[in-house]
Amino acid sequence: MRFSTETHIPGNSGTLNFLTPLVKDLQVLSSVTLIGLLLAIAFLIKEEHAKFLPEAIRIRNLAVIPAAAWLMSSLGVLFVELANLLATPISESFDPVVIRSFITQTALGKSYAINILAAILVLLLTPRMKRTTGAIFGLIFTFIGVLAPVFQSHSSSSGNHGLAIGSLLIHVVAISLWVGGIIALILINKSERALSLPRFSALALWSAIAVCTSGAVNAWTRLNFKEAWNSQYANLVIYKIFLSAILIFIGATHRKYLMKKMHESKQVYQLLVVEIVVMILAISVGAWLSTSAPPQLRNPRNIDVAESIAGSPMLPAPSFKNILITYVPDAAFIGLLIFITALYIRGVVILAKRGDKWPVGRTVSFALAVAATDFATSGGLGAYAHFAFSYHMVAHMVLGMIAPIGFVLSAPITLALRTLPIGRTHEERGIRGTLISFLHSKYFQVLSNPVVALSIFDGSLFLLYMTPLFGNLMQTHSGHLFMNIHFLLAGALFFHVIVGIDPSPKRVPHIVRIIVLFAAMSIHAFFSIALLSATTLLDGGYFASLQRPWSLDLLADQNAGGAVGWAMGEIPILIALVATFIQWVREDRKESKRIDRAEDRAAAMGEDDDLAKYNKYLASLQRLDERPEN
């Protein structure tokens, strides 16, 4: 089965041309509405110990409608896009054989399948939700479904793939939270609206900044030449910028009403209605843009094989200078790093305003971890990781072993627990309570078990590299993003268990940590030796398809990656081992000082200390044994 690469075939029927924007607009509107309602249930509407109150139950029941509409419109998008690609009437797109071929053989079809599966899961989950935890999971699944097709949008064909796709991902997430939240505020009752507005106002501000910034970056990647600004696509972008400016103005007015006229619910409601109308217009323009191909140069440059596969042009032969100065931005990771950095700085500022000091060393550790992560994803190391296995392995080690130690030693959980807002009432769990609940949950207790953390940390190496999974993930931007996030989270979990200074419901004994570290060292060495001695390539032909002009011996490069992994993997584990010994010695000192203080206190009060009491207890047992039997 062959599929066209065009989204709109000139010869298609008028019915299909009418249905295509209709089902896409319905899909966007329903998914955004669903996101807003789930957001309201999870974080805006008042709850009682994470359990739904009557208003949350009403909104949950209401959320079933957009969930069903999202599923039906997603199916509609699948059928109309399939008809567009095949240049056939829509009736022929209902053929099960054609559908199966589309969703199993094409990247676009697979993304639509993920979208539909997510819609089915959320539709089944929504009416069964009873706690805010269920709404949070529903929100996550909804975003997975919404974002899956983004990787196959027109941005994926842009010259700077990582910048275009990443900025679009941020744009979709931010505008979904912004617009969805406004829709939810309109639908909830007056008392809950007044309670939710202050919390949503902060979220709306962050979302507005993200929407404008990511939209500008994404537009630049498509309109980076003079002739492009004379196209219809550019006109739509300008129109959307104009609508965004109106939204920011309304948002500023909204905050004014929030601060000065909160009691006038009618004015606030009218403002929300106007804002949502403008937002729907902006989203409609965005949906129109997603179905319109961006303008092309009259004399387009030649795209080499490497750029068509890896998303960026082939880089020159690696050298210290090239690795140091090369920067190929991955907007998704840059946005994530900016977000967590802003949260961390905000937490430190909150503590400073209270008069509490946050250790400078922790802030420095966080900054170094962010810098290392950026270098391994967007910097020279991350750029060359797309073109050579050896540099991929170096980036892997940085993301999985070096950056996580910095994040763990910066104590982000402690900072969050000290600065996150508590519930608005004594019965409400709130955001801080949600984090505490997660840390004490059975799920986190299982994850933080040293054996489980070690299995994820080292076991995933064999699952990834010794199976076809590695070659498959290297082929797509979503695969690269998934691997990088996995490396970072797996390393953070492992080192949190071993050297973490954040609170944990169950501390692992130091002797167990040392045993786990020696086990990790042995497993990692075994994996590296397997790479060093491998006689076949593990990438499924990915690096050969790039046709790079340097480092032509792919097997030697792979073996070099094994050597790099061995060397770079052992050093952080040795550092963690030393840190564990130091922590053990410090805790023993603290315990000794605690015992000494208890003895001094007991002596001052004329009482026996614990040791003396224990000795008396043993003496009493001895006297009982020595008592003659009658």
The answer to whether 565 and 461 have CB atoms below 8 angstroms apart is no
Pick from 42, 207, 21: which is nearest to 134 by CA?
A: 42
Helix (H) or strand (E) holding 77: helix 54-86
d(CA 32, CA 49): 27
Task: Find the range with the poorest average confidence among 262-271, 350-359, 549-558.
Answer: 262-271
Task: Find the range with the poorest average confidence among 3-12, 246-255, 373-382.
Answer: 3-12
Q: DSSP for 533-549?
A: T--S-SSTTHHHHTT-S
d(CA 63, CA 187): 11
- CA 436 from chain centre, in angstroms, equals 20
Q: What is the pLDDT of residue 228?
A: 58
Residue 360 has pLDDT above 70, yes or no: yes
d(CA 422, CA 615): 48
Distances (CA, A) of 123 to 61, 103, 138, 158: 11, 21, 9, 34
Task: Find the range with the poorest average confidence among 353-357, 419-423, 603-607.
Answer: 603-607
Pick from 320, 62, 374, 55: which is nearest to 190 by CA?
A: 55
Which residues, other chains included, contact 23 with Cβ-Cβ below 8 Å and sequence gap of 6+? 73, 76, 77, 80
Rounded average pLDDT over 492-505: 87
> SS3 for 98?
helix
**Sorting pLDDT into bands at 50, 70 and 90, what band is 589?**
confident
d(CA 289, CA 18): 16
On average, the pLDDT of the chain sits at 81
Q: In the block, which residue shows the tokens 């900044």?
A: 209
Residue 397, amino acid? M
Dihedral-angle region of residue 224 (phi above 0 means left; psi in -120 to 50 means alpha; beta otherwise): alpha
Q: What are the b/e assignments for 107-117, b being 16+ CB within 10 Å?
A: ebbbbbbbbbb
Q: Work out the number of other CB atoms within 10 angstroms of the CB of residue 41.
A: 30
d(CA 288, CA 525): 53
Helix (H) or strand (E) holding 28: helix 14-39
Q: Work out the number of other CB atoms within 10 angstroms of the CB of residue 343.
A: 16
Q: What is the pLDDT of residues 82-131, one digit of tens each?
A: 888 887 777 777 888 888 888 888 888 889 999 999 999 999 999 999 99
Tell me which of 528 and 13 has the higher pLDDT: 528
Pick from 177, 186, 181, 153: which is nearest to 167 by CA?
A: 153
Tell me which of 405 and 153 has the higher pLDDT: 405
Q: DSSP for 166-204?
A: HHHHHHHHHHHHHHHHHHHHHHS-HHHHHHHHHHHHHHH
The answer to whether 257 and 194 have CB atoms below 8 angstroms apart is no
> Which DSSP symbol is given to 92?
G
The answer to whether 164 and 155 have CB atoms below 8 angstroms apart is yes
Residue 487, amino acid? F
The answer to whether 414 and 503 have CB atoms below 8 angstroms apart is yes
Residue 334, amino acid? I
Which residues, other chains included, contact 453 with Cβ-Cβ below 8 Å and sequence gap of 6+? 447, 493, 494, 496, 497, 516
| 142 phi and psi angles, rounded to 5 deg | -65, -45
Q: What is the pLDDT of residues 191-235, one digit of tens each?
A: 888 788 878 877 887 887 888 788 777 777 766 555 555 666 666
Burial of residue 606 (CB within 10 Å: 0-12, 13-18, 19+) is: exposed
Tell me which of 53 and 155 has the higher pLDDT: 53
> What pTM was computed for the model?
0.82
Share of the chain above pLDDT 70, in %: 77
| The total number of residues written for the chain in this structure | 630
Question: How large is the C-alpha radius of gyration of the chain?
Answer: 29
Residue 142, amino acid? T
Token pair of 170 as six digits: 């941020």
Rounded average pLDDT over 442-450: 88
Q: What is the pLDDT of residue 72?
A: 94
CA atoms within 13 Å, Cβ hemisphere of 280: 14
Angle at CA of residue 517, ends 516 and 521, nearest 5°? 115
Pick from 115, 78, 27: which is nearest to 86 by CA?
A: 78
Pick from 379, 348, 377, 378: which is nearest to 364 by CA?
A: 348
Runs of H (alpha helix) within 87-131: 96-105, 107-125
Rounded average pLDDT over 450-462: 90
Residue 629 has pLDDT above 60, yes or no: no
Q: Work out the number of other CB atoms within 10 angstroms of the CB of residue 246.
A: 16
